[in-house]
Amino acid sequence: MGYLLALASLVSFTASIMVTRLATPFMSMGLGFVVSTAVNVIVAGLLVLLQQVWRVHPIGWHAQAFWLFAAAGVCATFMGRWLFYEAVARFGPERTSVFQIGIPVFTAALAWLLFDERLSAPALLGMGMAVTGLMIVGYKRGANAPRSPTGQLSVVHSLLALGFGSSLAYASGNLMRGYAVREWPEPVLGALVGAVAGLILHLAVTPGKRDLVQQLMRANRRGFWLFVVVGMGNIGGQVFMIGAMRHIEISVAVLLTMCTPLLVFPLSRWMFANSEPWTFKLIGGSLLAMAGVVLVVLR
């Protein structure tokens, strides 16, 4: 069940990424982020109501897990995304994406240090193979070079701070979700709590909040509805990932859901004419990552 839920999360996040590429020409990422996060709250709220209709026993209460889910929303939905998009804006998506690949590694390290979640030697080897393969897929020659020769050290330090900060924020949020869902097995409600916390903080710090409604009214309708689909994919991926953490190791669930490049690259090749061409590096990295994932699952 854990692996099936992680696979469903992978598919949901992949769909969200693909639709984001379709949506960005029609709406800015900042406004699209507000739309998708609001959809997170709406969809998760509707799912909780449906659960209440169909379930026999009402939802119990677990204060510690509730606040962990809220803190996870602050770390992942708000801080992780904000630092990531800030790094993308300053240094480009290629250089920033390398740090996202480290999220499973940070998650595994924190799970081991804080919750004594130990992985077998084959699982660790598989994780190493998968992360290495994803790094090969995501690396582009010259993409990590500073854009300006002046202030090179400060530029690199800023990239490291934003990149590692984003990865640590995501990893911390994942760890909180994994621990919370084991104490309070309510993945849908947990996703709702985190989405609400992330949306509140994002709206609190976003400039031009008073004009937000007017911006949405003037926004391109196609871009708006595409970001609605992005939000649906994001919240689906979060619910499935939190559910997977209840059944398998937190670090393994995160690793499987972070393998989106293995689906994004072939889908992009099929859907978009200007996608990256197939190369031995791309194929070899993908095969190495898939072999690592298989080793983790069959460990």
**Is 0.85 surpassed by the pTM of this model?**
no
Q: Is residue 137 part of a domain?
A: no
C-alpha torsion 5→70→190→58, nearest 10: 170
In DSSP notation, 231-279 reads HHHHHHHHHHHHHHHTTS-HHHHHHHHT-THHHHHHHHHHH-TTSPPP-
Nearest C-alpha neighbor of 239 from the set 97, 69, 108:
69
Q: Is residue 268 part of a domain?
A: no
Q: Is residue 276 part of a domain?
A: no
Q: Is residue 273 part of a domain?
A: no
Domain of residue 201, residue span: 2-119+152-254
Q: Is residue 288 part of a domain?
A: no
Q: Is residue 45 part of a domain?
A: yes
Return d(Cα 18, Cα 99) in angstroms, integer.
20
Q: Is residue 195 part of a domain?
A: yes
Span 10-33, pLDDT tens digits:
999 888 888 887 888 898 877 888
Span 205-264, pLDDT tens digits:
776 667 777 888 888 999 999 999 999 998 999 999 999 999 988 888 888 887 777 777
Whole-number pLDDT of residue 242: 93
Low-confidence ranges of the chain (pLDDT < 70): 85-101, 134-135, 137-160, 207-209, 272-278, 297-299
What is the three-class DSSP state of 98? helix
Q: Is residue 103 part of a domain?
A: yes
How many CB atoms are located within 10 Å of the residue 244 CB? 29
Q: Count of domains in the chain?
A: 1
Contact (Cβ atoms closer than 8 angstroms) between residue 75 and residue 182: no
The 10 Å CB-count burial string (b at 16+, else e) for 118-152 is ebeeebbebbebbbebbbbbbbeeeeeebeeeeee
Whole-number pLDDT of residue 229: 94
Those residues with Cβ within 8 angstroms of residue 80's Cβ, 6 or more apart along the chain or in another chain: 166, 169, 170, 173
Whole-number pLDDT of residue 97: 60
Return d(Cα 25, Cα 266) in angstroms, integer.
21
Whole-number pLDDT of residue 262: 73
Whole-number pLDDT of residue 297: 66
